[in-house]
Chain A
């Protein structure tokens, strides 16, 4: 019996190896070698909803580029990987780099994942184009081949706090020095970065920081945290959450009658469509600072850019029929992939040389990407043309209320009708 099982096992292994060898993409003679790129997103686990949307968006970008003839005549071949947590992200990055041979990786949605992937890709000379993780550490860690299209966490937090200290206080009829702000955030590098930026700006503008707390995203009861908020009675709550904890937070704030006058989410959870769908009409008036999203098409002066944005939205919604608009995460994922494949890589002298890709990334300057801001990469890999908008949930949709150049609506419900103090 044992012999039989051993023989069977060997047979399975041999067959598997043969199949594996034979299953790879064969290069048809005369056709250009495919340019392999990877996409590493959480396709399972807590962030899988947005992770799958990001993968859809990257696939759309690859399809668009291939329709135009690929990159320098080479068809782009996308290989995806599931990274529900940073450990899996590092493992999958290793697999894509060593076994698949990708030259560029698109990711990651979560800063923890981004840092884990960067640790693997950078030392192998593989580029990481980041369109989700905003932790400051990603561009503060001397990575050479990590390029982030969106804004840094610290900037995101500062933008939100600045809006509070300049615009919201006016609407509330209070001086900045009298405004009480409470900051809460999830405890990863993402939450920490954004909260640090917010805290610095709060203090710079002379507002009162009446509390700051962080929590683990596996939290199942936020009563203790919300009671701290209730004790402090802030005017404004600045929060950095993922979607599950954002919903739990709002429910608990309502149940314990601890809702402040202004609820401002600083990215991720509060910009997730699931957040507003679940919270319902009470979400009207919740701010959700993030990248520009759902911009009116006339923001894009270039006709080709406008057509691309429109085509992306159509293609994305065809894959995600339950959504009214593409999520911010998906828009960013598309922008990162499309900008890099369409605008940066064609300028690289050798697609297999990360140094020439880096040169192309640094030297290419764009006035506009599909995200509504341009591309101007610094030596640290940060796109310094990136910005954050002040968005607000209104009627189940995200409306950009600031800056003036990109707004498509005015802020409502300040203070919130459901505020308790």
Chain B
């Protein structure tokens, strides 16, 4: 029984990170209608920023969080302004191809700048554990989970309770109507993209003590984010949170009871089932 609880908790902890990485994608798609296949690469860049902050200034990822998030926000804005804004009205196929290309560019840029070496940010928290009775929890993963869920919930409340959030939701419902109501579409899209990239950057920052940075580190997370978002509902923030946690649990239980080789297969199976029986996602409308 203790093992099962450990499996459950481990899955939940991983799921929190997946949720945080995915809510940004759900936000960008839900409000701006943009498909971003380079989403995982921004997580990778955040990991590198955190690594270099630690390597050059001896600031661990938590100490350099504000600087890193500011960098991610700037990067998000530049990406939106010079690339994504130009394909706002293009078909999703064009956006997918463009962002796939962007993904390759970012990976190879990282390779060119920082080589292919694994960049480990080993801090005290990397290997420390919280022992709660028979449970042994990685401190870094617990902190990542807590921050991830807090940030995801904060985003939800931002969208629900603030004027800017209401404006963003209005744009998501009907851009033209929102524009007629005086909402600046371009600024709203820009803000949406910036928030989305900043959130995936936060996810990257949180996993930096656990996982090394290397040029293709973001690729598995990029794919996972799409799976989470499809399962949860393409533009649903609660769906992305739920989807992320669900994926983490499925991965953990499948890995333990069937085998690690089936971890990915298990959630891909769910992905296929959702697409067949509820293509709008578990929290999606219609």
Contacts of B256 in A (CB 8 A): 224, 227-228
Find B255's partner among A224, A247, A251 (CB 8 Å cutoff).
Answer: A224
A-B CB pair tally, cutoff 8 Å:
110
Q: A215-B261, A220-B220, A221-B14 are in contact. Are A230 and B211 (CB under 8 A)?
A: no
Q: In chain B, what residue has the closest Cβ to A254?
A: B127
Q: Does B198 count as interface, using CB distance less than 8 angstroms? A: no
Please tell me if the beta carbons of B252 and A224 are within 8 angstroms of each other in the complex: yes
Interface string of B1-14 (1 = CB under 8 A from A): 00100110011001
Q: Does B79 count as interface, using CB distance less than 8 angstroms? A: no
CA distance in complex: A227, B11 (Å)? 12
Interface string of B205-225 (1 = CB under 8 A from A): 001001110111001110000
Please tell me if the beta carbons of A213 and B212 are within 8 angstroms of each other in the complex: no
Interface string of B246-271 (1 = CB under 8 A from A): 00000111111001110110000000
Interface residues of B in 41-66 (CB under 8 A from A): none
Please tell me if the beta carbons of A278 and B211 are within 8 angstroms of each other in the complex: no
Q: Does B122 count as interface, using CB distance less than 8 angstroms? A: yes
Most buried by B among A48, A222, A280: A48
Q: Does A342 count as interface, using CB distance less than 8 angstroms? A: no
Q: A45-B215, A251-B126 are in contact. Are A225 and B260 (CB under 8 A)?
A: yes
CA distance in complex: A230, B111 (Å)? 37
Q: A215-B261, A220-B14, A231-B3 are in contact. Are A48 and B252 (CB under 8 A)?
A: no
Q: Does A347 count as interface, using CB distance less than 8 angstroms? A: no
Q: A221-B251, A254-B127, A278-B122 are in contact. Are A43 and B14 (CB under 8 A)?
A: no
Contacts of A243 in B (CB 8 A): 118
Please tell me if the beta carbons of B118 and A274 are within 8 angstroms of each other in the complex: yes
Please tell me if the beta carbons of B263 and A224 are within 8 angstroms of each other in the complex: yes
Q: Does A36 count as interface, using CB distance less than 8 angstroms? A: no
B residues contacting the other copy or chain, number (CB 8 A): 41
Q: In chain B, what residue has the closest Cβ to A282?
A: B127
Q: A227-B6, A255-B127, A255-B129 are in contact. Are A220 and B211 (CB under 8 A)?
A: yes
Q: Does A325 count as interface, using CB distance less than 8 angstroms? A: no
CA distance in complex: A222, B138 (Å)? 12
Q: A187-B261, A213-B261, A231-B3 are in contact. Are A224 and B212 (CB under 8 A)?
A: no
CA distance in complex: A49, B212 (Å)? 13
CA distance in complex: A44, B115 (Å)? 8
Interface string of A86-111 (1 = CB under 8 A from B): 00000000000000000000000000
Q: In chain B, what residue has the closest Cβ to A45?
A: B216
Distance from A132 Cβ to chain B, minimum over Cβ atoms (Å): 16
Please tell me if the beta carbons of A221 and B252 are within 8 angstroms of each other in the complex: yes
Q: A44-B116, A227-B10 are in contact. Are A214 and B126 (CB under 8 A)?
A: no
Contacts of B264 in A (CB 8 A): 216, 218
Q: Does A219 count as interface, using CB distance less than 8 angstroms? A: yes
Contacts of B115 in A (CB 8 A): 48, 52
CA distance in complex: A231, B255 (Å)? 14
Given contacts A227-B10, A231-B3, 7 further A-B contacts (CB under 8 A): A215-B260, A215-B263, A222-B260, A224-B252, A244-B118, A248-B211, A278-B212
Q: List 24 A-B contacts (CB under 8 A).
A: A44-B108, A44-B215, A45-B116, A46-B214, A48-B111, A48-B115, A52-B116, A184-B260, A214-B259, A215-B260, A218-B219, A219-B260, A220-B14, A224-B7, A224-B255, A224-B263, A225-B260, A227-B6, A243-B118, A244-B118, A247-B120, A251-B210, A256-B136, A257-B136
Instruction: Name A residues whose Cβ lies closer than 8 Å to a Cβ of B.
Output: 43-49, 51-52, 84, 184, 187, 213-216, 218-225, 227-228, 230-231, 243-244, 247-248, 251, 254-257, 274, 278, 280
